[in-house]
């Protein structure tokens, strides 16, 4: 009986081992049957006000693609992580997505500090990041595709509009204290001075993320604007700090007629949580507004409302950037016949996809896209009415022509240059080069 018992134990062990191996193989096959897509957006913390919607947008786009049959004969699987508005955590989560989850591409980040945190990880592991938000430029990576606006597609045209159409002469550059506002304002300060604006007519102010006490700053804005010259605020304030900022403008009676604010990070989603009546007439510069009247935009809005099951939810510019970027990625993967990063990176250059405003977005050799530029005026219903726009799309410029050190620099990820930081004077690449 003892021998028989041992035999049963051996048989049970072999059976269990076989079952485990079969289960493991089945699990591996299941993983191989899906293409994983990383979604790296803050769902908590100061940036959740802006980024949660982008997570939902990606889930909608992935769901839609799966209904079309997936990609390369496989279903897409979203892998959602929450870096919680914690900049170092963005890098950790990106590494996890690439090494543990084996995602084919990552769609994510909002602030430039989060993108800068992720950048060395993406480059080290040769991943792909689609970045959907306006930023300061001065960067082009082989591994990043910038579907938001560069400064020449938002900040510079906004200043031109204020200067030429509203006759603004004094400038308040107000931003959150991190890389995007500081670099953008450095570019804008140089641009304004090149237009003859004096130092005394430029006021620059920075506040921390989540800043809530705006009373003294708005008082300073009012004082600066009382010098008898038309004054405007160019705002690179990010995240939930915008709510108390605009509220304090209303409290102190700063109207758009007196001192207009043009924002680069306030769209329909941010306005949906504010009392917009005191904000009517203030401005935002983007490349898309929900109010744009095109057939494609109407279809996108309806798709979003149906998916999110909330008729009050709005669409905004970074959502359109993800819409364009995701569909460009799909086309590039189909073109390459693989999700291999090197093949997809090459295939992406030159890919075109219709935007929602009636034009065509094209992925340029510098990994930026072509976009229209729109200036919108806030309405009391939280929407924007377009008051100015370019008559054609503008190609994104990775390096500013208004900073002396950047002027000779170009980015071109096609041969023979294949460099994101190529000096046209020295004929040398001083940045990432593969």
Q: What is the dihedral of CA 318, 324, 327, 331, to 10 degrees?
A: -140
Select from 330, 400, 322, 394 the least CA-distant residue to 140.
Answer: 400
Give me the number of domains the chain comprises: 1
Mean pLDDT of 379-388: 96
Whether the pLDDT of residue 2 is over 60: the answer is no
What sections of 167-294 are H helices per DSSP? 179-194, 215-224, 242-251, 268-271
The two structure tokens encoding residue 71: 């990609």
pLDDT for the residue numbered 147: 98
pTM over 0.85: yes
Instruction: Label residue 28 by pLDDT band (50, 70, 90).
Output: very low
Query: On the CB side of 317, how many CA atoms lie within 13 Å of its CA?
Result: 30
CA-to-CA separations, 196 to 55, 162, 191, 227, 386, in angstroms, rounded: 43, 15, 9, 18, 28
Q: Which parts of 195-241 fold into alpha helices (H)?
A: 215-224
Is residue 236 domain-resident? Answer: yes
Nearest to 209 by CA among 230, 237, 167: 237
What confidence tier does 432 reach under pLDDT thresholds 50, 70, 90?
low
How far, in Å, are 61, 292, 336 from residue 70 at the CA level? 11, 30, 15
| Position 279 in a domain | yes
Name the pLDDT band for 278 (thresholds 50, 70, 90): confident
Please state the rounded mean pLDDT for residues 416-420: 96
Q: If pLDDT is split at 50, 70 and 90, which confidence band does 30 have?
A: very low
Which residue is listed with tokens 């485990």? 20
Percent of the chain, pLDDT > 70? 92
Whether residue 231 lies inside any domain: the answer is: yes
Query: Residue 275: pLDDT band by 50, 70, 90 thresholds?
Result: confident
106 domain residue, yes or no:
no
Return the CATH number at 253: 3.40.50.2300
Q: Is the pLDDT of residue 31 over 90?
A: no
In a domain, 282, yes or no: yes
Mean of per-residue pLDDT scores for the chain: 92
Distance CA 356, CA 354 (A): 7
Contacts 24+ apart (CB under 8 A), 118-125: 118/40, 118/90, 118/91, 118/94, 119/143, 119/144, 120/91, 121/91, 121/94, 121/95, 122/94, 122/98, 123/432, 125/95, 125/98, 125/99
> Domain containing 246: what range?
152-286
Q: With the C-alpha atoms ordered 109, 113, 115, 118, is the resulting torsion angle positive or negative? A: negative
Is cis: bond before 416, omega within 30 of 0?
yes
* 209 lies in some domain: yes
Has residue 245 been placed in a domain? yes
The answer to whether residue 261 sits within a structural domain is yes
């Amino acid at each position: 009986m003892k021998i028989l018992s041992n035999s049963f134990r051996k048989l049970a062990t072999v059976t269990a081992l076989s079952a485990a191996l079969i289960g493991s193989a089945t699990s591996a096959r299941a993983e191989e049957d899906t293409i994983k897509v990383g979604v790296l957006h803050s769902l908590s913390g100061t940036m959740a006000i802006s980024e949660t919607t982008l997570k939902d947008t990606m889930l909608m786009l992935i769901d839609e693609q799966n209904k079309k049959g997936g990609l390369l004969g496989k279903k897409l699987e979203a892998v959602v992580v929450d870096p919680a508005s914690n900049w170092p955590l963005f890098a950790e989560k990106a590494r996890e997505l690439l090494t543990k989850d084996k995602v084919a591409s990552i769609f994510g980040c909002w602030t430039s500090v989060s993108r800068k945190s992720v950048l060395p990880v993406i480059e080290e592991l040769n991943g792909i990041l689609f970045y959907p938000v306006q930023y300061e430029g001065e960067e082009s990576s082989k591994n990043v595709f910038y579907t938001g606006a560069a400064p020449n597609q938002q900040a510079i045209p906004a200043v031109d509009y204020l200067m030429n159409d509203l006759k603004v002469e004094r400038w308040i550059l107000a931003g959150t204290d991190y890389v995007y506002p500081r670099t953008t304002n450095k570019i804008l300060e140089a641009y304004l001075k090149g237009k003859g604006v004096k130092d005394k007519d430029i006021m620059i102010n920075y506040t921390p993320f989540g800043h809530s006490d705006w009373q003294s700053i708005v008082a300073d804005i009012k004082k600066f604007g009382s010098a008898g010259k038309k004054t405007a605020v160019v705002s690179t304030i990010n995240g939930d700090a915008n709510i108390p900022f605009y509220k304090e403008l209303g409290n102190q009676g700063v109207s758009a007629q007196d001192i207009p604010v043009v924002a680069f990070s306030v769209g329909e989603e941010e306005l949906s949580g504010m009392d917009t009546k005191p904000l009517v007439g203030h401005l935002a510069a983007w490349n898309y507004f929900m109010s744009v009247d095109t057939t494609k935009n109407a279809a996108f809005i309806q798709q979003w409302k149906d998916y999110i099951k909330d008729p009050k939810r709005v669409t905004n510019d970074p959502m359109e950037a993800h819409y364009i970027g995701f569909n460009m990625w799909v086309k590039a993967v189909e073109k390459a016949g693989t999700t291999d990063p090197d093949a997809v990176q090459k295939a992406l250059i030159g890919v075109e996809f219709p935007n929602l405003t009636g034009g065509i977005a094209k992925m340029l050799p510098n990994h930026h896209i072509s976009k229209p530029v729109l200036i919108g005026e806030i309405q009391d219903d939280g929407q924007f009415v377009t008051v100015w726009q370019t008559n054609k799309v503008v190609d994104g410029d990775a390096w500013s022509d208004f900073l002396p050190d950047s002027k000779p620099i170009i980015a071109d990820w096609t041969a023979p240059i294949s460099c994101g930081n190529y000096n046209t004077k020295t004929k040398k690449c001083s940045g990432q080069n593969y």
